[in-house]
Chains A and B, each alone.
Chain A
């Protein structure tokens, strides 16, 4: 089974599997949390569950089930890579029960997916989540009749408060232990469609994880992945003849319409709406302001100022870094140096662990003293912003501007996240729809988006030089825009459409923000810290073997062309291993007074544009393929130096001395 990284771990083996399936933003992840009691990213932003989370649900003393949270999907016809992951899990993951989680007040729109899931022949439980919001908007639902009509258990829940969860648990147990008379009713299509479905279904001879009926329906829509699942069918030729004719798109449309009509009929029967004064009027007003083409901008500026500049820049990168860094310099490093000096003397082994570039004194110190406070504060700010539902509104606000550089408004999420950690942001580009947009976003993240760790050090470097900061920001910003502008024209493929659901604005809950930050930090340290330590070790090895001396000499040529002292070369080499290593190297040079103002600026620009850190490179390789990763690297390396070179000459031509 392929359900992306972080799929079911060994501890889930042999347990019955419960899948959470549903639209983005209906509270699947929150439900997962209350069912399993374990940590997972929960958010108010459509599509943040990039990887599949799994956990164990315990009921009573002797029932243990594996619970898997799938990425959001709107229907069984996948559009984004994420939806493809969710769909593959349903079609091939052999769940023992599927919880179809829906936003209760949007039942009519979400019920067609319930029908599709029931068609799979797998047991389904319909979970009406956000039930309080439904009641709040004046709707009443006759659940007993709905349950009878659908033939599947229906449970109402409010995942964030835990209401209805005990009932849901017992329904799950009922179904899994065979105590529920499960009788999922297929919604009949029109006679003509039923005839075509039956025609394909009776040709299916092999054993499949889902019903022939569902496979036939998907095949009639000429769904590529379904056709691949059917590749081993003995009657493949006949199936293709029936399924893949020119009317496949029309079939998809008709089936969708018929499902929707059935959903509307069900909802009209069992749902009553009492019109009432709409609550949350101020939320609606605030939402309008956020997406207002004029008033939206001061709100954005405010969010950036307080969220990024004051909290991440001031508190995280300033106060916290100073505190922890001072602690390391005064308390930890001397001790570590003394300890390893006592152990190994002053030889190569000492350098591995301690001294200027040691695994402990450099690797761990940077990870704990610089990266941890900056990244943690960024993730806290990002989680709060994300949970309010602001990001989709920001996406809508910037869509038109982003279109100019070949991205859709949707890309604002990975790009913003890139200011925290470009590596994580590169993974999140999966939520983008077209290949072109994914390539472009990955490229821009690698080139022109400095991550929070790097930003922190660069800000500290240029603190007190507002002119330098302005030129740096302008150059990097211009590079970002020009690269996007050219990328839009040079990368083949259609420009991306923009389509996004705006969830209601919600007040973030402290628990959710904590859970999410925690989960992200765990991810960060699991994926990134080892690379950190490894990078220190590689630096040590490179220095020991003399390989680095050769590389540094090579790099010193472009470094000098860009008007920098040759002594800055090591910073760039280390910058390859982690961008912030490079920045921190510059920091040391600047402190020692060997860099002029202009040189510092040029170096900061080159480092910002420079080759991504090793972790991001690895993720780009994985997500976009090795040729794309190496191609990007081959471009960005010389290009960063070229921009530095050009900037240096422009500055001296204009006689600017910073």
Chain B
């Protein structure tokens, strides 16, 4: 369904108010002559059969069952986008929400599932609000392992290819890059205590949890997917 950005916003707000804050909040009544963005969004949703007038005061609109489903996916995409920005792309916290809005439209069906799997079926967004699970999540949770995860969260014996190395905030050349720890190389976690011990080629490297947490690995099991 091709909805406008304003319609997405309205759906998300409806979800948050009614589902998460426990309010009774309705979309403003549709009136063809109003040019307020919220009212336009409401008319768009009503036309699509996602919203209809309900028992709320002032002719406010309520979501239909189809509308609820759409709202849920909207919220899910937005929050997955935020997670992607925060965890993988290392975008600053302050601008995550704004970018999440733009990014969510990119996460169409299918891509959304891949991103969710890549991120390990996260249950909450960077702001701590819960992400409505998708079909992939039920399947993924039964495996109980993420596809890509930081070395610090791997178990000894896990091996895989480095997917990406997160940079620290400070500028300058990254130490791990300089040491030759680069995406695409195969690593194996040998030990987690007293420090992380990693096999890379024929060498072993010891590193603390902070550095190990920056190396994200695509576990061997998920290779080729």
Contact = CB atoms under 8 A, between A and B. Distances in A.
A110 B179 CA distance: 10
Interface stretch (B20-28, B62-70, B195-203): B195-203
Given A112-B180, A249-B167, A296 B173 contact: no
A252 B170 CA distance: 15
Interface stretch (B8-16, B80-88, B207-215): B207-215
B99 interface: no
A526 to B, nearest CB: 34
B171 A75 contact: no
A412 to B, nearest CB: 12
A249 B167 CA distance: 9
Contacts of B171: 249
Interface in B171-225: 171-180, 182-185, 191, 193-195, 197, 200-208, 210-211
Given A252-B173, A499-B211, A392 B206 contact: yes
Contacts of B195: 291, 396, 399-400, 409, 498
Interface residues of A, number: 47
A386 interface: no
Contacts of A408: 208
A224 to B, nearest CB: 8
Nearest to B179: A74
A494 B211 CA distance: 14
Contact of A252 (B177, B202, B205): B177
B11 to A, nearest CB: 36
A581 to B, nearest CB: 40
A395 B205 CA distance: 12
A261 B197 contact: no
A225 to B, nearest CB: 11
Contacts of B208: 399-400, 403, 408-409, 497-499
B: interface residue count bin? 20 to 34
A260 B185 contact: yes
Majority SS at the chain B contact face = loop
Interface stretch (A100-108, A342-350, A555-563, A613-621): A100-108
Interface in A76-126: 77-79, 103, 105-106, 108-110, 112
A261 B184 contact: yes
Given A252-B174, A260-B180, A408-B208, A108 B201 contact: yes
Interface in A583-625: none
A268 interface: no
Interface string A288-328: 10010100100000000000000000000000000000000
Nearest to B202: A105
Contact of B178 (A74, A103, A260): A74
Interface string A376-404: 00000000000000001001111110010
B157 to A, nearest CB: 13
Interface string A478-517: 0000000000000000100111111000000000000000
A15 interface: no
A222 B172 CA distance: 8
A256 interface: yes
A105 to B, nearest CB: 4
B156 to A, nearest CB: 11
Interface in A217-273: 221-224, 249, 252-253, 256-257, 260-261, 264
Which of B176, B180, B183, B185 has its CB near the most chain A CB atoms (within 10 A)?
B180
A106 B201 contact: yes
Nearest to A504: B204
A502 B173 contact: no
Nearest to A288: B191
Contacts of B197: 291, 396, 502
B210 A497 contact: yes
Interface string A1-31: 0000000000000000000000000000000
B104 to A, nearest CB: 25
Contact of A260 (B167, B170, B184, B205): B184
8 contacts: A103-B202, A103-B203, A249-B172, A293-B194, A395-B206, A399-B194, A502-B204, A502-B205
Given A106-B203, A110-B180, A499-B175, 16 more contacts: A77-B177, A79-B179, A103-B203, A105-B202, A106-B202, A112-B180, A249-B174, A260-B185, A396-B194, A399-B194, A409-B208, A497-B207, A499-B208, A500-B205, A501-B204, A502-B203
Q: Across chains A and B, which 4 residue pairs bring their CB atoms closest together, nearest first?
A: A396-B206, A498-B208, A77-B173, A502-B204
